[in-house]
Chain A
């Protein structure tokens, strides 16, 4: 069955450093992969989408890589700030109808001032 793995342990880093979060998936070949941010008690917010033919995508301080051979995506936040503290979810996606949306359980990021 399809499986998405994100580090369940919280990632604690110091303000200004780069945070790197990992998403591994097995038993399927997504056409693209999305990253979302979720704050406690709130709905997830879309951050970035990267397609299978793209190696890297950037948006401001965010960078995502997608390695379809390793079945892995890395999510980087550079110059991290305490306001970046949240849970980050990855969602490898197929396309088209009858696809079952599947999200990883997320990794909690805590940025210390």
Chain B
């Protein structure tokens, strides 16, 4: 158990809908990262927050947004969902601002029908 929690574990929704994925980092970790992993694809970095502020951005679609709250939990919002958004979404956390070891959550499996 990494100490990172993600909810929900599974999500099934329809095209055009909007969903929110939630992540709670390990106690004491200030950075939260979001990744997308499609079938047979590598981990694609989406976005990072550090202590409430956006720190780095990857290839995140405009339909996707995220935020980190004062209690350090983070939410990833996916809107106008398309079939191709079906994937595993992982959250990871780390103590510092960037570059060091990340601790991954169990992921949220999103299926868009």
CB within 8 Å of B: which residues of A?
A: 31-32, 34, 41-46, 49, 89, 93-106
User: Which chain A residue shows the least CB distance to B88?
Assistant: A41
- Known contacts: A42-B107, A44-B43, A44-B104. The answer to whether A97 contacts B50 by CB under 8 A is yes
Whether the Cβ atoms of B104 and A45 lie closer than 8 Å is yes
- Known contacts: A42-B106, A106-B42. The answer to whether A99 contacts B2 by CB under 8 A is no
Whether the Cβ atoms of A46 and B101 lie closer than 8 Å is yes
Bound complex: CA A71 to CA B90 (Å):
28
* Cβ distance A66 to chain B, nearest Cβ, rounded Å: 15
Cβ contact of A100, chosen from B42, B45, B97, B100, cutoff 8 A: B45
B52 within 8 A of A: no
Cβ contact of A41, chosen from B99, B102, B107, cutoff 8 A: B107
Whether the Cβ atoms of B55 and A97 lie closer than 8 Å is yes
B22 proximity list for chain A (CB < 8 A): none
B55 proximity list for chain A (CB < 8 A): 97-98
- Known contacts: A97-B55, A100-B58, A101-B33. The answer to whether A89 contacts B43 by CB under 8 A is yes
Known: A96-B99, A99-B99, A101-B45. 6 other contacts (CB 8 A): A31-B99, A43-B92, A43-B106, A93-B100, A97-B55, A105-B41
User: Which chain B residue shows the least CB distance to A98?
Assistant: B56
Whether the Cβ atoms of A95 and B98 lie closer than 8 Å is yes
* Cβ distance B22 to chain A, nearest Cβ, rounded Å: 15
Cβ contact of A102, chosen from B2, B45, B88, B105, cutoff 8 A: B45
- Pull 22 A–B residue pairs with CB atoms less than 8 Å apart, ordered by A: A41-B88, A43-B2, A43-B4, A43-B90, A44-B92, A49-B100, A89-B42, A94-B98, A94-B99, A95-B100, A97-B98, A99-B98, A99-B99, A101-B33, A101-B35, A101-B45, A101-B48, A101-B98, A103-B43, A103-B45, A104-B42, A106-B42
Bound complex: CA A100 to CA B43 (Å):
12
Bound complex: CA A103 to CA B90 (Å):
13
B99 proximity list for chain A (CB < 8 A): 31-32, 93-96, 99
A32 proximity list for chain B (CB < 8 A): 99
Task: Produce 1/0 per residue, B79-113, CB < 8 A to A.
Answer: 00000000010101000011111111111010000
